[in-house]
């Protein structure tokens, strides 16, 4: 019973449905990411590496024969026991050309040396291997103090090409009024969240749920804005000279 409840709560966090609309402060960001990743996931198969895997919330979307989670080696990550391997922040513990694909979800903004990081991804990918990358564009500082960068669509494309990748597709996520709606709830979250779960649930239902619902209605009525968006997804291929 408890395990089923935990799975349901996790699903609402990363793939929020109707209930998530009412109780998830980050409904629009999470929903947009999940849908974008689900659309691209079938294009990565074989042996996959999830860099900065966290709880591996998107693993079930990928047709992998092997799905390996990698995290930076910290006491907190070790305590969670959710990654399969850990690394020192510089070198991945794998041989060259080991993986068919790499997933890197909402991690690059926390990397202070992106060239080194992307170089390691390039090294462990097979020739022609694919990288599925998501990164925030409009978002507040988070996981402080390890929040170092935001990348425009042009910036991330240039960075990838410099490090041996060819960009196949780029998708801007929530490039409409939902960016403003989500920022409103992110603001409310920072000022209203407490250490009391019941009180937080009440805040979500009474204060944040109406904002979520407003966003779900307005984005269907108002025009999109391709220059202002929450996140972006990039699908790239390893180029071998």
Segment 162-180, tens digit of pLDDT: 999 999 999 999 999 999 9
Q: What are phi and psi of 117, to 5 degrees?
A: -65, -50
For residue 74, how many C-alpha atoms fall within 13 Å in the half-sphere facing its CB? 8
Predicted confidence band of residue 204 (pLDDT cuts 50, 70, 90): very high
List pLDDT tens digits, range 35-58. 999 999 999 999 999 999 999 999
* pLDDT value at residue 11: 55
Instruction: Between 30 and 77, name the one with better pLDDT.
Output: 30
Q: Count H helices and E strands in the chain, helices first.
A: 9, 7
Predicted confidence band of residue 240 (pLDDT cuts 50, 70, 90): confident
pTM, full prediction: 0.92
* pLDDT value at residue 7: 53
Domains parsed from the chain with CATH numbers: 40-195+224-238 (3.40.50.150)
Instruction: Between 74 and 41, name the one with better pLDDT.
Output: 41
Picking from 189, 170, 173, 181, the residue whose alpha carbon sits closest to that of residue 137 is: 173
Token pair belonging to 43: 């294009």
Token pair belonging to 39: 């659309």
């Amino acid at each position: 019973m408890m395990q089923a409840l935990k799975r349901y709560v996790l699903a609402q966090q990363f793939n929020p449905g109707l209930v998530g609309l009412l109780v998830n402060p980050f409904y629009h960001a999470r929903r947009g990411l999940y849908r974008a990743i689900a659309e691209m996931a079938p294009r990565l198969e074989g042996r996959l590496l999830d860099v900065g895997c966290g709880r591996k919330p998107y693993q079930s979307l990928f047709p992998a024969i092997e799905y390996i989670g990698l995290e930076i080696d910290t006491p907190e990550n070790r305590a969670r026991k959710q990654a399969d391997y850990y690394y020192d922040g510089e070198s991945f513990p794998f041989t060259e050309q080991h993986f068919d694909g790499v997933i890197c979800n909402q991690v690059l903004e926390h990397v202070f040396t992106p060239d080194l990081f992307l170089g390691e991804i390039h090294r462990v990918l097979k020739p022609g291997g694919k990288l599925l990358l998501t990164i925030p564009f409009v978002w507040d500082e988070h996981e402080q103090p390890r929040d170092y960068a935001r990348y425009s669509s042009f910036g991330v494309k240039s960075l990838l090409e410099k490090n041996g990748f060819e960009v196949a597709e780029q998708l801007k996520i929530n490039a409409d009024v939902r960016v403003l709606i989500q920022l409103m709830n992110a603001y409310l979250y920072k000022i209203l969240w407490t250490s009391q779960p019941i009180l937080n649930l009440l805040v979500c239902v009474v204060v944040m749920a109406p904002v979520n619902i407003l966003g779900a209605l307005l984005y269907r009525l108002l025009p999109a804005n391709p220059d202002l968006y929450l996140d972006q997804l990039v699908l790239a291929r390893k180029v071998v000279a």
